[in-house]
Chain A
C-alpha cells in the first residue's frame, strides 16, 4: 500500500514535471545560452572592429594615405567629400581641422569611441607641436614612446581554492530565483486552483490535512528541482555544443566545486520547502485569486532572494553573515556566500539547522491552516482567525 504522502507527492510531481516539457525546456535553455554567447561573441567583435576616420587637416606624422592609430584607420580625404562619404557609410567619422587649435569630429551620430579617438589623435597633435619646437627625431621618438603597462591580476580567491566567479554565482542565485517563481506558480495552481475546483473535500476525507500539505510541498519541490535540472542540462548541453562545433570558443564561464554544488542542492531543497509552505499557507486562505488582496503576499519570499544578488560582491559583509543564517533568506544568501565568500563551518551548520527547523515549523502551521481554510469558500479568514486556528488545532 502506498503511503498517502508518497501518493500525493507522486501526483503533484507528475502533474507539474512532465518529461516532454523538461526535455523541451533543456533544449530551449541550451538555445538561449547559445544565443547569448553568440551575441556576446558578435557584440565583442563589433566593439573591436577598426573604425575608418577621414582626416581633413595637417598632421605631419600621418604621412601615408592610410595610417593605423590604435583601432582607428586614418585616411586622408578632402573636405568636400566628407559628408557624402559619411552618407554612404564609407567612413565612420571625419576629423576636420578648423584652425591650429580646433578640430571637428563629424559623424552621422554620436559614438562611444569619440573619447578614445580624441585621446589618440591628441597624442599625434602633441607630437606635431613638439616637432615644431625643434626636437630632433630621436628626442621626439623618446617623448612619443608610451610607458609600458603590464597587467598582472592577482585574484585573492582563485578558482582552485573552491571560490567561484561572479557569473557562475549569479547563475546559481538566478536559478534559485527562477525556482521560486516556478514554485510560486505551481503552488498557486495546486492550492487555489484545487480550492476553486472544489476537489478539497474528496481528498480530505481520505487523508489528513498534514499528509496533504506534506505530499503537496514535497511533490512541488521535486517538480521545481526537476525544472532547475532541466535548465542546468541546457547549460551543459550548450557547453558540449560549443566544444564540438565552435572549438570551445563560445563556452560560458563555468565552475563550482562539487562540495559547493552539493551545498547548493541542500539549501535549494530546504529553501524551496520552506518558501513553498509559506506560499501554501497564504494560498490556502485565498478564496478567489482574481480579487484577493492577499495574493500580493505571495511575493513576500522574493524579498529573500534579492540580498543574495546584492551581496555577491561583498559575501562576508556583516549583513550578509546575519541573513545567511536567518531561515528564509538563508536559503539564497548562504549559497552565495559559499560560492563567493568564506563562511565559517558553524555558520553553515547553523543555517542548515535553522532552515530545517523553520521548514518543519512552517509545515506544521500550514497543515493546521490547511485543514480549516481549504474548506472555506465565499469568504477569506482574517489573520486573527488564522492565529486562532493555529492555537486551537489539534
Chain B
C-alpha cells in the first residue's frame, strides 16, 4: 500500500483542445521536498492548481493521506499554498493580512496574530506589521506572501515559483527557509525554474513535458536513468578544435569554455581515467576538473533547447 502523503492517479486536465496535464502519476512522500520542473506549458501550474483544489481533473483522482485517512482534499489547515501569480490585498496592514489568511486556514485569531508578529520579527519586518502591504518593497511583499502560505504550519506546502522576485541573497535565504519548513515536518511540493536552487533543495524531482512526467526520482537516480556521463573540463597546450578533441575515445561531445578550455561530456559507461589517458597520449593537458552533469543540462537534453530558451526568457522576464 502506498505511503505517499499525496498521490495523483492518471490525472488529466484539458482546456478546450489543449491537454495541459496528461494522465499524470505523481507521489509526494511525507516529509520530502519534491520539485516539479518543466518548460513553459509543461503543465506544472495546472498540476499544482489541481492539487490545491482550485481546478478539478477531468479524469483520474487525487488522494491525500492525513492521519491514516484518505481524502480528496485536505482540511484548509493542512494545506499551505503559494501561487505563481502572487497577490495580496494592498490597502490592508501586513499583520492583519497574515492574520486573515491564517484564520481562513483554521487558526485561532489570537494565535494567528501572535504567529504573524513572531514571523514578521524573524523576517526582519517586525516594525512594519502596521503598514499597508503596498508600502513594502517587492521583495518584502514576497516574504509576506510566503508567510501567508505557511504561517499556520501546514502539513503540506505547495509552493509555485517560490524564488521568483528575490535577489540571489534572498533566494538563498528561502532555500534555507524551505529546508527549515521541511525539518519542522511539512511536506513540500515546489515548482521552480531556478535549477541550481532546486538541485540544492529537492529530495526528488519530477521533470514534466507536454503534461506528462518524463523523468522522476532523486538527482542521482535521474542521472543514472538518463545515462548521463561525467563532465570533464581540460586545458591543453596545443592549438586544437572541438572536432579533433571529439575523436578521442569515450568523449561524446565537446564545447569550448569562455576561458579557453574545453568542456567534455563523457560517454556514460566510460571511466574518467581512461579518457584522461587517451587525452594525455595526444595532447599536453595542463588543467583538469571533473563535474557531474548539472540539472539544467539534463533538463536541456531531455526537453530540448527550444524549451530551455523559453525558460531563460521567462526567468529574465521574471527578474
Q: How many residues of A contact B (CB 8 A)?
A: 21
B53 touches A (CB below 8 Å): yes
B139 touches A (CB below 8 Å): no
> Quick one: given A197-B90, A205-B53, are A1 and B85 in contact (CB under 8 Å)?
no
CB distance from B187 to the nearest CB of A (A): 16
List chain B residues, Cβ under 8 A from A207.
76, 104
Q: Do residues B76 and A4 form an inter-chain contact, with CB atoms below 8 A?
A: yes
List chain A residues, Cβ under 8 A from B49.
201
CB distance from A310 to the nearest CB of B (A): 38
Q: Do residues B87 and A4 form an inter-chain contact, with CB atoms below 8 A?
A: no
A8 to B83, CA, bound (A): 20
> Quick one: given A15-B92, A201-B54, A201-B81, are A206 and B104 in contact (CB under 8 Å)?
yes
CB distance from B58 to the nearest CB of A (A): 12
Q: Do residues B81 and A197 form an inter-chain contact, with CB atoms below 8 A?
A: no
A7 to B76, CA, bound (A): 13
> Quick one: given A15-B92, A206-B76, are A201 and B83 in contact (CB under 8 Å)?
yes
A233 touches B (CB below 8 Å): no
Q: Mask for A372-387, Cβ within 8 A of B = 1, else 0?
A: 0001010000000000
Q: Do residues B88 and A199 form an inter-chain contact, with CB atoms below 8 A?
A: yes
A198 touches B (CB below 8 Å): yes
Q: Do residues A200 and B87 form an inter-chain contact, with CB atoms below 8 A?
A: yes
List chain A residues, Cβ under 8 A from B188.
none
A375 to B87, CA, bound (A): 13
A8 to B90, CA, bound (A): 16
B301 touches A (CB below 8 Å): no
B135 touches A (CB below 8 Å): no
A206 to B79, CA, bound (A): 8
Q: Which of B81, B82, B100 contacts A7 (CB 8 A)?
A: B100
B109 touches A (CB below 8 Å): yes
CB distance from A379 to the nearest CB of B (A): 12
Q: Which B residues, 56 to 97, have Cβ-Cβ distances below 8 Å to chain A?
A: 76, 79, 81-83, 85-92
A199 to B86, CA, bound (A): 7
Q: Do residues A1 and B81 form an inter-chain contact, with CB atoms below 8 A?
A: no
A202 touches B (CB below 8 Å): yes
A201 to B55, CA, bound (A): 10
Task: Give the most central of A4, A194, A199: most B CB within 10 Å.
Answer: A199
Q: Which B residues, 206 to 220, have Cβ-Cβ distances below 8 Å to chain A?
A: none
A101 to B52, CA, bound (A): 96
> Quick one: given A2-B109, A4-B76, A7-B100, are A202 and B81 in contact (CB under 8 Å)?
yes
Q: Do residues B79 and A205 form an inter-chain contact, with CB atoms below 8 A?
A: yes
Count contacts between A and B, CB distance < 8 Å. Answer: 63
Q: Do residues B54 and A194 form an inter-chain contact, with CB atoms below 8 A?
A: no
Q: Which of A7, A194, A202 contacts B83 (CB 8 A)?
A: A202
List chain B residues, Cβ under 8 A from A201.
49, 54, 81, 83, 85, 87
Q: Do residues A375 and B88 form an inter-chain contact, with CB atoms below 8 A?
A: no
B105 touches A (CB below 8 Å): yes
Q: Which of A199, A206, A375 contacts B105 (CB 8 A)?
A: A206
B174 touches A (CB below 8 Å): no
A11 touches B (CB below 8 Å): yes
CB distance from B134 to the nearest CB of A (A): 9
Size bracket, chain B contacts = 20 to 34
Q: Do residues A198 and B104 form an inter-chain contact, with CB atoms below 8 A?
A: no
List chain A residues, Cβ under 8 A from B89.
15, 194, 197, 199
Q: Do residues A198 and B76 form an inter-chain contact, with CB atoms below 8 A?
A: no
Q: Which of B85, B90, B91, B100 contacts A11 (CB 8 A)?
A: B100
A203 touches B (CB below 8 Å): yes
List chain B residues, Cβ under 8 A from A206.
76, 79, 81, 101, 104-105
A4 to B77, CA, bound (A): 12
Q: Which B residues, 128 to 149, have Cβ-Cβ distances below 8 Å to chain A?
A: 145, 148-149
List chain A residues, Cβ under 8 A from B27.
none
Q: Do residues B149 and A202 form an inter-chain contact, with CB atoms below 8 A?
A: yes
List chain B residues, Cβ under 8 A from A203.
104
List chain A residues, Cβ under 8 A from B52.
205
A15 to B96, CA, bound (A): 10
List chain A residues, Cβ under 8 A from B307.
none
Q: Mask for A17-41, Cβ within 8 A of B = 1, else 0?
A: 0000000000000000000000000
CB distance from B242 to the nearest CB of A (A): 45
> Quick one: given A198-B87, A201-B87, are A375 and B104 in contact (CB under 8 Å)?
no
List chain A residues, Cβ under 8 A from B87.
194, 197-202
Nearest to A372 among chain B residues (CB) is B55
CB distance from B317 to the nearest CB of A (A): 16
B304 touches A (CB below 8 Å): no
> Quick one: given A202-B83, A202-B149, are A7 and B103 in contact (CB under 8 Å)?
yes
- Closest 5 pairs between A and B when the two form their complex, measured CB to CB: A198-B87, A201-B83, A199-B87, A205-B81, A205-B52
28 contacts between A and B (CB under 8 A): A2-B108, A4-B76, A7-B104, A8-B104, A197-B87, A197-B89, A197-B90, A198-B83, A198-B85, A198-B86, A198-B87, A199-B87, A199-B89, A201-B49, A201-B87, A202-B82, A202-B87, A202-B148, A202-B149, A205-B53, A205-B54, A205-B79, A205-B81, A205-B83, A206-B101, A206-B104, A206-B105, A375-B54
With A197-B90, A206-B76 already in contact, 9 other A-B pairs whose C-beta atoms are closer than 8 Å: A2-B109, A15-B89, A15-B91, A199-B89, A202-B87, A202-B148, A206-B81, A207-B76, A377-B85
